[in-house]
Amino acid sequence: MENFEDLFRLDGRVALVAGAASGIGRAAALGLASAGAATICADLNLDGAEGVASEIQAAGGQAEALVLDITSEQSIAGIMRQILENHGGIDVLVSTPAVNVRKPLLQYRAEEFDKVIRLNLKGSFLIAQAVGRAMSENRRGSIILMSSIRSLVVEPGQGVYAATKAGLVQLARTFAAELGSAGVRVNCIAPGVVETPLTEPIKRQPEWYKAYAERNALGRWANAAEMAGPVVFLASEASSYVTGTVLFVDGGWTAIDGRFTPPI
C-alpha cells in the first residue's frame, strides 16, 4: 500500500529561492523550510534575505542567506559553487525576481525593454540553466519558474512584462522536455494579483485595486503566503508526475469572462 503521509515533505532536500527577501520569494522560502527543506535564501538584498533566513531559523528550520544576481553569470556560478560545496547538490529551485515598466508599447524606450527582458526572461533562464545542469548530474530535481496570468491575458501597459511571462512558460516547457530523462521536473506558477512590493503602486490607487479584486472569481487579492502551498506542491513528491505545465494560482481570474454577472 502506498504511503501518502510524506507526500508534501521535503526533509533532506536542498532548496534555492532566488528573490527570497520579499513578496512571493519570501513566502516560498518560508513554505519550503516549513516542509523540511534546507533553504537557501538568495537575493540582491542580502539584509532582506538574512531576515528571512533568521525567521526560518527561529522557527527551528534550516536556512542560510546568500547574495545573488540572476542576471549575472558570475554571480550564479559563485552561488552554485557554494551550494554544491556545502550541500553536495540542489533539489529545488524557485526563481521569483521580476520587474515591470508600465507604459504603452509606443512609448517604450529600448533601455526599458532591455531592463524588463534582462531580469524577467534572461535572468530566469540563466539561473534555471545553471541549476538544471547540477540537477541533471544528480538525476533529480524540481525547477519552479514564476510566470503570471499575463502569460495568457494582457491589458494596456503590460505588453513587455506579459511577453516575458509568456516566454517563461515556453522556456519551462522546453527545459521540461530536455531534462525529463534526467529526472528533473520544470514547471511554472502563474499568480494572479498578489500583494507584493511589485504591486504596491496599484494598492495605493483604490479604484485600480478594487477593479482588480472584482475581476477574479474570489473577489479579492491574494497575499503572498498563498503562493507557498503551490510552491511546496511542485517541489515535493506530491507532483512527481507533473512537469512542463503551468499552475494558475489566480483566484479564478483566467476562468471568468469579465466582471459582469448576468441575471440568470
161 is catalytic: yes
In a domain, 261, yes or no: no
Q: What is the pLDDT of residues 2-56, one digit of tens each?
A: 779 899 999 999 999 999 999 999 999 999 999 999 999 999 999 999 999 999 9
Task: Give the model's pLDDT for residue 39.
Answer: 98
Q: Is the pLDDT confidence value at 221 over 80?
A: yes
Query: What is d(CA 179, CA 136) in angstroms, rounded to the nearest whole number?
Result: 7
- Rg, C-alpha atoms of the chain: 18
Concatenating the DSSP letter of every residue in 192-242 gives -SEESGGGHHHHTSHHHHHHHHHHSTTSSPEEGGGGHHHHHHHHSGGGTT-
Domain total in the chain: 1
pLDDT given at position 200: 81
Q: How far apart are CA 93 and CA 83, in angstroms?
A: 12
Question: What's the pLDDT band for 261 if we cut at 50, 70, 90?
Answer: low
Q: What is the pLDDT of residues 79-126, one digit of tens each?
A: 999 999 999 999 999 999 999 999 999 999 999 999 999 999 999 999
141-173 tens-digit pLDDT: 999 999 999 999 998 999 999 999 999 999 999
Residue 46 located in a structural domain? yes
**Residue 95 to residues 71, 212, 245, 262, Cα–Cα distance (Å):** 12, 25, 16, 40
Q: Is residue 191 part of a domain?
A: yes
- The set of long-range contacts for 72-81, using a CB threshold of 8 Å and a minimum separation of 24, is 73/126, 76/126, 76/127, 76/130, 77/130, 79/16, 79/40, 79/42, 80/130, 80/131, 80/134
Domain contains 263: no
Q: Is residue 18 part of a domain?
A: yes
- C-alpha 76/C-alpha 85 separation (Å) is 14
pLDDT of residue 257: 73
CATH code assigned at 80: 3.40.50.720
Q: Which domain, by its residues, includes 120?
A: 14-196+224-248
In-domain check, residue 6: no
Confidence of residue 196 (pLDDT cuts 50, 70, 90): confident
For residue 258, pLDDT beyond 60: yes
Q: Is there a domain that residue 212 lies in?
A: no
Other CB atoms within 10 A of residue 105 CB: 12
Residue 253 domain-assigned?
Answer: no
Predicted TM-score of the model (pTM): 0.95
Given pLDDT bands bounded at 50, 70 and 90, which one contains residue 69? very high
Q: Which three cell numbers stand for residue 2?
A: 502506498
* pLDDT value of position 179: 98
Q: Does the pLDDT of residue 263 top 90, yes or no?
A: no
